[in-house]
A and B are shown apart, each in its own frame.
Chain A
Amino acid sequence: MSELIEALTDPAFPFLRNAVFMGLLASAAFGVLGTFVVARRITYMADAMAHCVLGGIGAAVLLRYNYGFSWLHPLWGAWIAALTAALCIGVVSFVVHEREDTVISLVWVAGVALGLLFLERAHPPPGEPAVEPLSYLFGDILLITRDDLRLVALLDLVVLVLAAAFYNKLAAVCFDEEFAALRGIPSRAYFLLLLCLTALTIVLLVRVVGILLVVALMTLPAALAGRIARHLWQMMLLAAVFCAVLVSGGVLASYHLETRTGPTVVLLAVAAYGTAAAVGAANRRFRPPRGDGVAR
């Protein structure tokens, strides 16, 4: 333990501290949006957006290295791609009623394929590190900077203010979109807002756990919280706490075990969810059913 505290405070290892801070800060936005994503059952949409991020990063890296756009940070590419994917997916879900999942998986693979082609073509000038697609797919905490932390804090503020201000409307849209629309709430606009916020948030933790695993970190804590929570706001609060514990625990465990951070964090989350599910199942099995005679 003292070894971990030393590692966290050691100025020679800023990346470890940054990763833990990143996880703690991002967990607020992840808890809130993960709850919406899980309750609205759009995990696969979130996953598709996360995968599209690779296309954006690839395009940005290509433009930066091969075409002289030196100001173009890969993060901007990631955000543009994620937002584009969010809008595409949202519109697809409004227009295509049957086989919506097929179209969404199309967006998903197009993003990944473009990203890999772009990254392959990108040639960093001498002195710059080589392009490493794996670091985007699985995350690399060495990439996190102090600027990233500031961005996460800013995004937290936006997400929390919007979620608090429009809580009831967002809850109504997630629960029953049609009824919300009949009450004069622009359901589709709110749904697109949720998708866009989710896209922006996903991009931030791609640094830590990577494109392939980031959605697990958004949905598993929320799913875990959903097993206990009785109200949506409770679920958000618990999801944020679980997310914070899982990310910081996973980062520290990966340092200790000398494993890659992303997979370690996600496996920890999977283990937590698996345990909760098993305990829940055992409880139901060994407890007499509630005897009100009503079929459920």
Chain B
Amino acid sequence: MSDRIEPFAGVVGASSSDAADAGGVQPLVEFDRVWFGYDDRPVLEDVCLRIMPRQLVCVIGPNGGGKTTLVRLLLGLLQPQRGQVRVLGGPAQAASRAIGYMPQHVRFDPLFPISALEVALMGRLGHGGWRNRFGWYSREDRRKARDALAAVGMSGQAEEPFASLSGGQRQRVLIARALCCEPQLLVLDEPTANVDSMMESQLFATLRALNDRMAVVVVSHDLGFVSNLAERVICVNRRVVEHRSGPLNDEAVQAMYGSPMRVVDHCRAVSHEGCRHE
């Protein structure tokens, strides 16, 4: 167990991605001794973290453990109080356009008149060119938005009002919007929150396929989903601890959450239809 979870002193992922590093590949994301707190309450302490191109990283941890704060630092929406967050070698704020982000919640007006396609098209904003000064969409933009909706299985609902979609469908449209950014890094905050198990395995396949083209960071409380998907698992609970791939077990979970928890272990060796429950 101690070799799986290690309190993290140096750079998480240093050992696992040393090979890539040695080849001179620049890390996509780099947290260097980052501290962050709201008022007097520390949320993240001494976080070091590297994400390399085309890695698939899952971020897990208890509620209030700092997962969302970590993501917001990565997006440049928050500034670290100490330490540095670098994305694409520069400050995080300057790189937000290279990231496709799916938030956990969008606080939109439930009667906001907008179609699924129009939501996806928002991902095309900020792509340069004279049209973009004004935010006008080209035919190319519309094609890309339709492709993105197709990638998440929402082609049929492109013209439907966003507000009339179910929670899971909305989430897929928001993933499509993130894809429309043509990002180098896709960040999904709780993509399985409103999704049933069938959709979950579809989403799983989609993320795997996307991972060929871009790095993916998935924030999830769904340990089963994570242990199936992840190449790297990062546990956030004030401090950041890396758990390298492999099925999660009780001890590991207890170590990171600090209390015994029930875990349903979706064994890697078993196909998605049948999973062994321990």
Q: Does A76 make an interface contact (CB < 8 A)?
A: no
Determine if B113 and A226 form an interchain contact, defined as CB atoms under 8 angstroms apart.
yes
Q: Does B109 make an interface contact (CB < 8 A)?
A: yes
Determine if A183 and B161 form an interchain contact, defined as CB atoms under 8 angstroms apart.
no
Q: Which of A176, A180, A185, A229 has the most CB of B within 10 A?
A: A176
* Total chain B interface residues with beta-carbon distance under 8 A: 33
Q: Does B111 make an interface contact (CB < 8 A)?
A: yes
User: Within the assembled complex, what's the spacing in Å between the Cα atoms of A239 and B76?
Assistant: 38
- Per a CB cutoff under 8 Å, which of B96, B111, B164, B169 touches A226? B111
B contact residues around A169 at 8 Å (CB):
125, 134-135
Q: Contacts A41-B109, A175-B112, A234-B113 known; A180 to B122 CB distance under 8 Å?
A: yes
Which chain A residues (36-54) contact chain B, with CB distance < 8 Å?
Answer: 38-41
Q: Contacts A39-B112, A226-B113 known; A178 to B135 CB distance under 8 Å?
A: no
By beta carbon, the residue of chain B nearest A226 is B111
Q: Does B9 make an interface contact (CB < 8 A)?
A: no
- Per a CB cutoff under 8 Å, which of A40, A41, A172, A232 touches B125? A172
A146 to chain B: closest CB distance in Å? Answer: 34
Determine if A172 and B122 form an interchain contact, defined as CB atoms under 8 angstroms apart.
yes
Q: Contacts A229-B113, A230-B161, A295-B166 known; A176 to B122 CB distance under 8 Å?
A: yes
Determine if A175 and B135 form an interchain contact, defined as CB atoms under 8 angstroms apart.
no
Determine if B111 and A168 form an interchain contact, defined as CB atoms under 8 angstroms apart.
no
By beta carbon, the residue of chain A nearest B127 is A183
- Per a CB cutoff under 8 Å, which of A39, A166, A168 touches B109? A39
A contact residues around B111 at 8 Å (CB):
39, 226-227
By beta carbon, the residue of chain A nearest B167 is A295
Which chain B residues (148-173) contact chain A, with CB distance < 8 Å?
Answer: 161, 164, 166-167, 169
Determine if B112 and A182 form an interchain contact, defined as CB atoms under 8 angstroms apart.
no
By beta carbon, the residue of chain A nearest B101 is A182
| A interface residue numbers (CB < 8 A to B) | 38-41, 165-169, 171-172, 174-176, 178-185, 226-227, 229-232, 234-235, 294-296
